[in-house]
Amino acid sequence: MSALLLGDEAPDFEADSTDGPIRFHEAIEGAWAVLFSHPKDFTPVCTTELGMTAKLKDKFAARGVKVFGVSVDPIEDHHAWVGDIADTQGVALNFPLIADPDRKVATAYGMIHPNANDTLTVRSLFVIGPDKKIKLKIEYPASTGRNFDEVIRVIDSLQLTSAHKVATPANWVSGEDVIIVPAVSDEEAKEKFPEGWKTLKPYLRVVPQPK
């Protein structure tokens, strides 16, 4: 299968998980979702990532985001790994960790990268919108842990820009000024942003973040 692109529908699948059987589209129905992969169980970097994700449960929940991990090892290994995560990270896993021993999920999402390793999954992360379309895709090397502050920052941007005709500038974090998209005319902008904006260039109009 060719690589998934932004805007493609996230493939549906059925699989076992630490929370029981999952049908993905049914599980995420109407919600934002994060799906992120791990090359195998009992790997050091991924152990820290799963712990960090569990610690961020309230932040994901506040944004209406459901989180799913996936690894190619069988469910029995997953359950054993959960104990290690709690022991070393000080938090219990509180989201489903999907078992993918037949690599159906990894193949559907293009997580196998033969130039890196033809058996282990690439460490991919997908943000999926309520329309089940892929909004973000990030791939990490095995040696580098994910920055979950960045994942949450991008989710904030995606949710804001999907609701308003704005874009977010470099290094933006929630609460800072945003940019009115060029497709919005000044006349339309007066209706949408009656308190006004700052015009730096005709194509670069800065406005406080809409609430």
The catalytic site residues sit at 46
* Cβ pair 23, 14 in contact under 8 A: yes
Distance CA 109, CA 78 (A): 20
- Cβ contact 36:133 at 8 Å: no
Rounded-to-integer distance, Cα 113 and Cα 115, Å: 6
Q: 167: closest CA among 146, 181, 151?
A: 181
Structure tokens at 210: 């809409």
